[in-house]
Each structure stands twice: as C-alpha cells, then as structure tokens.
C-alpha cells in the first residue's frame, strides 16, 4: 500500500491497521496486537464496542453536524449535562472541542480573557511543571515542560515558567515522609508566584497523574490540596489537565476526585471519545463563565468542529458504558491486578527502578542502576528498543523517554482498555517482560 500519509516519523513504513476487536488491533497481514496502552490512553472501551457503534449509527441517521455558531445539539447538551453532574464542585459549564491540545488552548485563552474581563489585565503568565505534556499546538506546547519538545520552537507564545514535578520516586528525600515531600514540592509554586509577581500570573496547569512524559507519575496525597490553597492565596487559576488521566483511567471519572481537589478548569479528551470520535472538553467553574457572560458576553475563541454531534454522541455512549457497566470499580480492581503482576514479573529486575500509577494507568521506569536511579544513556534508545520488541511480539505499549534531571530517561506507560480480562493482563505483562529483558538484558 502506498505510504503517503504524513505521520510522526519519516523513517520506514508502518503496518496497516484494518480491524479492532476488544483489546486487540489486527493489521493487514492478520497479525494481532494486544492494546496495552489503549493507543495512548485512548481506547478505554476497547475496539469495536457494540454500544458506541450503535449510538454512532443512530446519531448519523439523525444529525451529523450543525455549526455551533447557529445551533447547539441534543448530544452536545446531554454530554455537557453528564460531565457537569459528575464533575468536582463548582464546575458548571463545558466547552466542547476536538482533542486535548484544543482543550488546553481554550483553557489558556479563557484564563487570559477572564482576567481581562475582571480588570486584572497584568495577569498573563502561566506556571507549569517540568516533565509535563499539555499538547503540541503552540499555546499548549508553551505550557508543557518538556525542554526538547519546546526548544526548537522557542520563543513560544505564552510566557510559561516551570517548577519541579511531584515525582516521589526521584525527588523525595529518604528522611522525608510522603506528606512532607508533597508539601515541599507544592510550595515551589508559591515561591515561583512570588518570584514572578502574583499580579502577573494567571494560571497554574498540571496533570494530577503525569502521563506522556513521565510514565504515570501520580501526585502524592496532599500535594494538589496544597497547590489549591496556594492558587487561592494569590488569585491564580488552577487548571488540571486530565486529557490522559481523566475519564475513568485512574478508577475515578476525574483523577482529581481522589485528591479531593476542585480546580477552576479541567481539560479532558482521549478517553472521552475512546477513539471512536475526536473530542475534548474544557470544564469550567461557573464564576469564570459568569464573569465573561457579565462582561463582553463573548469568548473570543472557537473551532469549526467544536460540539460536533457525532463526537458528542460517541462520548455519551462512552460515559454511559462507564457508568452502566460499573467500569470504574473494575478499573480499580484490574489496575491493582496489573500492578501486582508487574511487580511479580519485574519488581526485582535490576533495571526496573519503579512501578507506579493509579487504576489502569501504570508506569514502569527503566534505569541503568537501580541503586543510584541513574537512567540509561539516551543514545542507547532503550525505550525505542522496548517499543519495537513489544510490537514485534504483538503488544502495543507506550515507552518513551522523559527528562530526568535534564537528561532523557526511559519509561513504559500502560493504559489498557477498562475491559481487560485477567488472562490479557497476564499476556501484557509476559510480553512486556520479554521486551524489557530483550532491550536491557
């Protein structure tokens, strides 16, 4: 088949995916791949879910698209109602977009416009964390804390500075309790706000469980609560980016539920459409929407495909399946089994430094030296080797090189469908074990 689709890599060709069945993808040669990462934490219901397919067929027969400059639609309103009803306290409005980066862009622009409308016009800066990923469009890229992604596009549009992530495995001091570490890490935000001048800072953005750059690194208990207090103290908006960790991935519909924190805005995407449609959403506190409604009455933003009826119908079916099939408790049980199986297979491996995560969102950190936590040299491309060996064995997992102390380290992110069975957890761990051993010995 000619390879004219322009993708991420310009090297080599990719197999052609032709079918999806539950936790498996099948390529044109008939080879089956266990989807151990749901692509990238997307396919939470697995592939070819009958309820989502039926919902999409029904919506297509009714209405595919009505421009949001003229209309709202039944599926879009239903989706916003469901999200608001299950969101943390104060969330009252939903802005529907087509993906994660768009949701983050909308959040940044809404924050800026909010402060303009209420007369705090000097607030334009964003604070984020090192080793974070918030998307690839220019504003979202500016927010992200991954130096190698940002470097060649600098100077970036939004002025962002980055504090340390909450990364217990690497940053907690041996004598420190987890709680004390969480407070110390959070207090970096206060220091940064004061350094910049509170009157210039509009928002702090963070993922409750860091996904793409760090391999499922959860905030420790108490960290986000302290962050919330600091944001409140200085009038800074708290944006939680749950594009990867939200929509049930951690065993809670919103990851921040577990942290007991109500942010000013939440971004979601990936699992919301579960791969059936491109969709994302920005959830917003009522007071932010109200300030704009009482001011200019017009959010200066918008995309042609926002609020697409087919996308909203898919998301409604996904959320219906999550609640109707009691998938959140299932994510917690299967997640605990996955963690236990990973620990049993890899816990003593000399090159496995940490196995962590929440729910069915797990990360394995690969190190050169378990004692010193020293990562492998980037040039060895350990994460690429693991990806290739796993893929060859018929496992899709999501290995990547994050940045550790300014250098690249290696992690594997796992985010299988919520429907994963015990036997498939076994298959996933066996194949991953083989790939890691093949890559590092």
- Enumerate residues 251-270 that contact ligand PMP by CB under 6 A: 269
- 244 forms part of the interface with ligand PMP (CB under 6 A): yes
Strand partners, 125: 201
- C-alpha 125/C-alpha 295 separation (Å) is 22
Nearer to ligand PMP, 133 or 376 (CB): 133
Q: What is the DSSP string of 392-407?
A: HTTEE-EEEEEEETTE
- 207 forms part of the interface with ligand PMP (CB under 6 A): yes
Nearer to ligand PMP, 140 or 201 (CB): 140
- 315 forms part of the interface with ligand PMP (CB under 6 A): no
- Enumerate residues 32-91 that contact ligand PMP by CB under 6 A: 40
- C-alpha 345/C-alpha 289 separation (Å) is 49
- C-alpha 250/C-alpha 309 separation (Å) is 27
Cis ω for the linkage preceding 99 (within 30 of 0) = no
Within 10 Å of residue 285's Cβ, how many Cβ atoms? Answer: 23
- C-alpha 90/C-alpha 228 separation (Å) is 14
Nearer to ligand PMP, 149 or 373 (CB): 149
Q: Under DSSP, is residue 17 helix (H, G, I), strand (E, B) or coil?
A: strand
In this chain, which stretch among 7-15, 69-77, 95-103, 418-426 interacts with ligand PMP, using CB under 6 A?
Answer: 95-103
Spacing of C-alpha 241 from chain mean position: 7
- Is the Cβ–Cβ distance between 193 and 230 less than 8 Å? yes
At its nearest, how many Å lie between ligand PMP and the CB of residue 136? 6
- C-alpha 181/C-alpha 190 separation (Å) is 15
- 399 forms part of the interface with ligand PMP (CB under 6 A): no
Nearer to ligand PMP, 72 or 136 (CB): 136
Nearer to ligand PMP, 240 or 425 (CB): 240
At its nearest, how many Å lie between ligand PMP and the CB of residue 295? 28
- 281 forms part of the interface with ligand PMP (CB under 6 A): no
- 363 forms part of the interface with ligand PMP (CB under 6 A): no
Residue with tokens 């980037």: 378
- 283 forms part of the interface with ligand PMP (CB under 6 A): no
Q: Which of 75, 100, 182, 353 binds ligand PMP (CB under 6 A)?
A: 100
Spacing of C-alpha 255 from chain mean position: 10
Nearer to ligand PMP, 107 or 220 (CB): 107
Nearer to ligand PMP, 100 or 222 (CB): 100
Nearest to 391 by CA among 424, 336, 431, 347: 431
At its nearest, how many Å lie between ligand PMP and the CB of residue 270? 6
Q: Which of 241, 257, 427, 433 binds ligand PMP (CB under 6 A)?
A: 241
Query: Which residues of this protein are in contact with ligand PMP, per CB under 6 A?
Result: 40, 99-101, 104, 133-135, 207, 211-212, 241, 243-244, 269
């Amino acid at each position: 088949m000619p390879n004219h689709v322009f993708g991420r890599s310009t090297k080599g060709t990719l197999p052609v995916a032709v079918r999806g069945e539950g936790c498996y993808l099948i390529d044109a040669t008939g080879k089956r791949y266990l989807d151990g990462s749901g692509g990238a934490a997307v396919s939470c219901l697995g592939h070819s879910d009958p309820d989502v397919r039926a919902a999409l067929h029904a919506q297509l027969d009714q209405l595919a698209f009505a421009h949001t400059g003229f209309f709202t639609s039944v599926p879009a309103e239903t989706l916003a109602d469901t999200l608001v009803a299950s969101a943390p306290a104060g969330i009252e409005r939903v802005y529907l977009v087509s993906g994660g980066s768009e949701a983050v862009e909308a959040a940044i622009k809404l924050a800026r416009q909010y402060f303009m409308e209420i007369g705090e016009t000097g607030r334009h800066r964003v604070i984020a964390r090192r080793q974070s990923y918030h998307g690839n469009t220019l504003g979202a890229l500016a927010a992200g804390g991954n130096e190698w992604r940002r470097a060649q596009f600098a100077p970036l549009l939004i002025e962002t500075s980055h504090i340390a992530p909450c990364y217990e495995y690497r940053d907690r001091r041996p004598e420190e309790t987890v709680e004390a570490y969480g407070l110390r890490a959070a207090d970096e935000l206060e220091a940064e706000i004061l350094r910049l001048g509170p009157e210039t800072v509009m928002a702090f953005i963070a993922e409750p469980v860091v996904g793409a750059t760090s391999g499922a690194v959860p905030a420790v208990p108490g960290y986000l609560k302290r962050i919330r207090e600091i944001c409140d103290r200085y009038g800074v908006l708290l944006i939680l980016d749950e594009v990867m960790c939200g929509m049930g991935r951690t065993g809670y519909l919103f990851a921040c539920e577990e942290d007991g924190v109500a942010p000013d805005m939440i971004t979601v995407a990936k699992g919301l459409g579960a791969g059936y449609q491109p969709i994302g959403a920005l959830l917003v506190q009522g007071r932010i929407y109200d300030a704009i409604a009482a001011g200019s009455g017009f959010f200066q933003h918008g995309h042609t495909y926002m609020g697409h009826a087919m996308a909203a119908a898919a998301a409604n079916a996904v959320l219906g399946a999550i609640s109707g099939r009691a998938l959140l408790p299932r994510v917690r049980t299967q997640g605990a089994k996955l963690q236990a199986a990973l620990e049993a297979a890899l816990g003593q491996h000399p090159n496995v430094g940490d196995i962590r995560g929440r729910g069915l969102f797990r990360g394995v950190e690969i190190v050169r030296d378990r004692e010193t936590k020293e990562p492998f040299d980037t040039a060895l491309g350990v994460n690429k080797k693991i990806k290739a060996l796993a893929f060859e064995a018929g496992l899709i997992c999501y290995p990547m090189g994050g940045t550790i102390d300014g250098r690249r380290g290696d992690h594997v992110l796992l985010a299988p469908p919520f429907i994963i069975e015990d036997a498939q957890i076994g298959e996933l761990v066996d194949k991953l074990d083989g790939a890691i051993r093949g890559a590092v010995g």
